[in-house]
């Protein structure tokens, strides 16, 4: 194990890039290898067993890239597969649900938290369970927003349609009196301006992915595997099971890295 | 190892209570055992070797209380002893410097971070080193504020004298253009209103202790030792090597727990 090995990130598509952007900001010495399973996106409506299998496919791909840590940068995959994968691998593996839950508990003042995510994530009740295990007195209101992922994957996340879908879905929270809303899907931070605009400034938005990176940083330090070499700019690598062109467009725009030269891979 | 065992917190005096308050808020199921070495406070001006020995005294006291994790809730002690203690113990041990450093890197937008702490902490350059190992491009300005701890330990932290001392010391940052200031001593959050008032709202204050608790939460989950039993209110225990009366006063006021029944212990 060398501290210069990459950290592996995986997602059902481009959503995990919101986590990678934060990783590049908070951990500029760390090399990123990313796999987005765009060809089989979205994961949200799929049965848990299938999501688990797909998550193993991505895990095995990242292990073959010789990563030192794996981040399941996808809430649906975290809910379905984190526990099993963490137990089976020797390298640290972390998901996005517990970091998002902790951040929400830290942020709420009125003890009323909202959670939005895919059908898979919301059906698993993974956020509500995680929040209640730590803080039983908190009220959690959860809502599946199945159309959000498609808006992002189709690069429609700034459109008037997106604005309407966000408003229609989030009106569910109008009478819930939440002061904190967990974006429990790594695609959702791309919709953040629309979401914040609709719920208002008095609601704190929790970006589970950004929180996860702080905790990645902690594990790197705890296990003494952080890369302290800042003399060489890390060479990141991006892979998708889908069409690299659309992936490159969204990623280039979101990460502001110019052309990423994303590679296509098949499982 | 049982998940219902307590988490041990230690500090040179009452400062670590700022971490405990956050622990009680974020981790309401967890039992706290606290030791404050008030009789030998302050640690800041002491040689590192002596601070290390005192930190071992507190560690051994906490181990005898059968804790499942140790939080060195004191920056001076973290800088002097964390590495050695973490290496020697089988239970997880965490300090406050890395969590504070990570939070500062996450918060800064202009890449200029200020750090205040005791002489021991600032002389060790532990924050500057930790920040630079992760993010070499950040400018760090550090200042020892030796009088701050005494203001807190003597329960003078709301006085006009405190206001003047804070203003005199922090004027050092007037031309540093920082947008983030790390309170690199767990006593300092008690002075937070005075500090925030002096530096202005445009500067984000980082409470290393509060950040540490989020990371304690993470380690509890990672090692699967969080207490998920929320049916029984945890019975906390507080110990001081000094006079329990003053400790009780500050702690009762700060933690709003009423009479803590702090016990005196000698090393």
pLDDT number for residue A1: 67
Beta carbons of B123 and B93 less than 8 angstroms apart? no
Of B185, B203, B206, B213, which one is the catalytic site residue? B185
Nearest CB to B214 within list A102, A221, A230: A102
Does the beta-carbon distance from A28 to B135 stay under 8 Å?
Answer: yes
Q: What's the gap in Å between the CA of A92 and the closest CA on chain B?
A: 9
Nearest CB to B215 within list A134, A136, A218: A218
Residues B155-184 as b/e (b if ≥16 CB within 10 A, e otherwise) read eebeeeebbebbeebbeebeeeebbbbbbb
Number of Cβ atoms within 10 Å of the Cβ of B23: 26
Q: What is the mean pLDDT of residues A19-31?
A: 93
Q: What is the mean pLDDT of residues A97-125?
A: 94
- Does the pLDDT at position A126 exceed 70? yes
Contacts of A104 in chain B (CB under 8 A): none
- Rounded Cα–Cα distance for residues A143 and A119 (Å): 8
Q: Note the Cα A121 to chain centre separation in Å.
A: 12
Residues A205-226 as b/e (b if ≥16 CB within 10 A, e otherwise) read bbbbbbbbbbbbbbbbbbeebb
| Percent of chain A scoring above 70 in pLDDT | 100
Nearest CB to B136 within list A92, A105, A230: A230
Does the beta-carbon distance from A214 to B214 stay under 8 Å?
Answer: yes
pLDDT number for residue B37: 97
Q: What is the pLDDT of residues A162-203, one digit of tens each?
A: 999 999 999 999 999 999 999 999 999 999 999 999 999 999
- Spatial CA neighbour of A44 closest among A15, A64, A87, A69: A15
- Does the pLDDT at position A37 exceed 90? yes
pLDDT number for residue B232: 85
The CA distances from residue B119 to B9, B33, B149, B203, in Å, are 22, 27, 11, 23
| Percent of chain A scoring above 90 in pLDDT | 84
Nearest CB to B214 within list A28, A106, A228: A106
- Does the pLDDT at position A257 exceed 80? no
Burial category of A56 from C-beta neighbours within 10 Å (exposed 0-12, middle 13-18, buried 19 and up):
middle
Q: What's the gap in Å between the CA of A105 and the closest CA on chain B?
A: 6
B74 carries an active-site annotation = yes
- Spatial CA neighbour of A43 closest among A20, A15, A62: A15
| Percent of chain B scoring above 90 in pLDDT | 84
Does the beta-carbon distance from A136 to B230 stay under 8 Å?
Answer: yes
A36 forms beta bridges with A11, A240
Q: Do domains A7-95+210-264 and A97-208 have the same CATH topology?
A: yes
Beta carbons of A206 and A100 less than 8 angstroms apart? yes
Burial category of A157 from C-beta neighbours within 10 Å (exposed 0-12, middle 13-18, buried 19 and up):
buried
- Does the pLDDT at position A229 exceed 90? no
- Spatial CA neighbour of A63 closest among A41, A90, A28, A95: A90
The CA distances from residue A246 to A9, A163, A226, A242, A243, in Å, are 19, 21, 32, 9, 6
**What is the DSSP code (8-state) at residue B189?**
G
Does the beta-carbon distance from B214 to A219 stay under 8 Å?
Answer: no
Beta carbons of B236 and B31 less than 8 angstroms apart? yes
Contacts of A29 in chain B (CB under 8 A): 134
Contacts of A24 in chain B (CB under 8 A): none
Q: What is the mean pLDDT of residues A89-109?
A: 94
B7 vs B255, more confident: B7
Of B6, B67, B74, B138, which one is the catalytic site residue? B74
B56 vs A249, more confident: B56
Q: What is the mean pLDDT of residues A126-133?
A: 95
Nearest 5°: the CA angle B90, B100, A1 is 50
Q: What's the gap in Å between the CA of A218 and the closest CA on chain B?
A: 7
- Rounded Cα–Cα distance for residues B120 and A232 (Å): 33
Q: What is the pLDDT of residues B26-82, one digit of tens each?
A: 999 999 999 999 999 999 999 999 999 999 999 999 999 999 999 999 999 999 999
pLDDT number for residue A21: 92
Peptide bond into B172 cis (omega under 30): no
How many helices (H) and strands (E) chain B has is answered by 11, 10
Helix (H) or strand (E) holding B1, with range, is: none
Contacts of B215 in chain A (CB under 8 A): 215, 218
Q: What CATH topology corresponds to B97-208?
A: Rossmann fold (3.40.50)
Q: What is the pLDDT of residues B120-160, one digit of tens each?
A: 999 999 999 999 999 999 999 999 998 999 999 888 999 99
B119 vs A253, more confident: B119
* Res. B203 pLDDT band, cuts 50 70 90: very high
Domain spans, chain B: 7-95+210-264, 97-208
Q: What is the mean pLDDT of residues A238-252?
A: 91
Lowest-pLDDT range of A8-12, A250-254, B92-96? A250-254
Beta carbons of A211 and A99 less than 8 angstroms apart? yes
pLDDT number for residue B53: 98
Starting at the edge strand found earlier in the chain, the sheet holding A32-36 runs A93-94, A69-72, A7-11, A32-36, A237-240, A263-264
pLDDT number for residue B1: 67
Active site residues of A: 74, 185
* Res. A255 pLDDT band, cuts 50 70 90: confident
Q: What is the mean pLDDT of residues A130-157?
A: 93
Average pLDDT of chain B to the nearest whole number: 94
Average pLDDT of chain A to the nearest whole number: 94
- CATH of the structural domain B7-95+210-264, one choice from 3.40.50.1860, 3.60.20.10, 1.10.3720.10, 3.40.190.10: 3.40.50.1860
pLDDT number for residue A32: 96
Does the beta-carbon distance from A228 to B133 stay under 8 Å?
Answer: yes
Does the beta-carbon distance from A134 to B27 stay under 8 Å?
Answer: yes
Number of Cβ atoms within 10 Å of the Cβ of B1: 10
- In this prediction the ipTM stands at 0.80
Starting at the edge strand found earlier in the chain, the sheet holding B180-183 runs B139-144, B112-117, B180-183, B204-207
Residues in chain B: 267
């Amino acid at each position: 194990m060398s501290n210069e090995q990459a950290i592996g990130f995986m997602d059902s598509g481009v959503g995990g890039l919101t986590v990678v952007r934060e990783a590049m900001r908070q951990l500029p010495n760390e090399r990123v290898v990313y796999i987005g399973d765009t060809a089989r996106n979205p994961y949200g409506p799929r049965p848990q067993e299938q999501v688990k299998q797909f998550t193993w496919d991505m895990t095995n791909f990242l292990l073959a890239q010789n990563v030192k840590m794996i981040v399941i940068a996808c809430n649906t995959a975290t809910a379905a597969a984190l526990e099993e994968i963490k137990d089976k691998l020797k390298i640290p593996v972390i998901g996005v649900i517990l970091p998002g839950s902790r951040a929400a508990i830290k942020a709420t003042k009125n003890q009323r938290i909202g959670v939005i995510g895919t059908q898979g994530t919301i059906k698993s009740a993974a956020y509500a369970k995680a929040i209640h295990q730590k803080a039983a007195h908190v009220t959690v209101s959860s809502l599946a927003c199945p159309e959000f992922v498609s808006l992002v994957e189709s690069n429609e996340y700034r459109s008037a349609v997106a604005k309407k879908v966000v408003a229609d879905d989030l009106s569910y929270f109008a009478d819930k009196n939440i002061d904190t809303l967990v974006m429990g899907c790594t695609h959702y931070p791309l919709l953040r301006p629309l979401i914040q605009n609709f719920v208002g400034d008095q609601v704190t938005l929790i970006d589970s992915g950004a929180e996860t990176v702080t905790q990645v940083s902690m594990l790197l330090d705890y296990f003494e595997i952080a890369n302290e070499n800042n003399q060489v700019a890390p060479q990141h690598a991006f892979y998708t099971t889908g069409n690299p062109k659309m992936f490159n467009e969204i990623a280039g725009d979101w990460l502001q890295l110019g052309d990423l030269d994303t590679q296509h891979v098949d499982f």
